[in-house]
Chain A
Amino acid sequence: NAGVTQTPKFQVLKTGQSMTLQCAQDMNHEYMSWYRQDPGMGLRLIHYSVGAGITDQGEVPNGYNVSRSTTEDFPLRLLSAAPSQTSVYFCASSYRQGVNQPQHFGDGTRLSIL
Chain B
Amino acid sequence: AQKITQTQPGMFVQEKEAVTLDCTYDTSDQSYGLFWYKQPSSGEMIFLIYQGSYDEQNATEGRYSLNFQKARKSANLVISASQLGDSAMYFCAMILQWSGGYNKLIFGAGTRLAVHP
Residues of chain A whose beta carbon lies under 8 Å from any beta carbon of chain B: 31, 33, 35, 40, 42-43, 45, 48, 56-59, 88, 90, 92, 97-108, 110
Contacts and interface: CB of A to CB of B under 8 A. Distances in A.
Contact of A104 (B47, B96, B107): B47
B33 A45 contact: no
A99 B31 CA distance: 7
A99 B106 contact: no
B25 interface: no
Interface in B24-70: 31-33, 35, 37, 42-47, 50, 52-53
B44 A99 contact: no
A98 B45 contact: no
Nearest to A6: B44
B8 interface: no
Interface string B66-108: 0000000000000000000000000000011100111111111
Interface residues of B, number: 27
The 10 lowest CB-CB distance pairs between A and B, nearest first, are A105-B45, A42-B107, A107-B44, A99-B33, A99-B95, A102-B47, A100-B52, A102-B50, A100-B33, A108-B43
Interface of B: 31-33, 35, 37, 42-47, 50, 52-53, 95-97, 100-109
7 contacts: A45-B104, A59-B104, A92-B45, A98-B95, A99-B53, A103-B47, A108-B45
B45 A90 contact: yes
A43 B105 contact: yes
A92 B37 CA distance: 13
Nearest to A47: B102
B102 A105 contact: no
Contacts of A42: 106-109
A69 B50 CA distance: 30
Nearest to B50: A102
A91 B32 CA distance: 21
Contact of B35 (A48, A58, A102): A102
Contact of A100 (B50, B100, B101): B50
Contacts of A57: 100
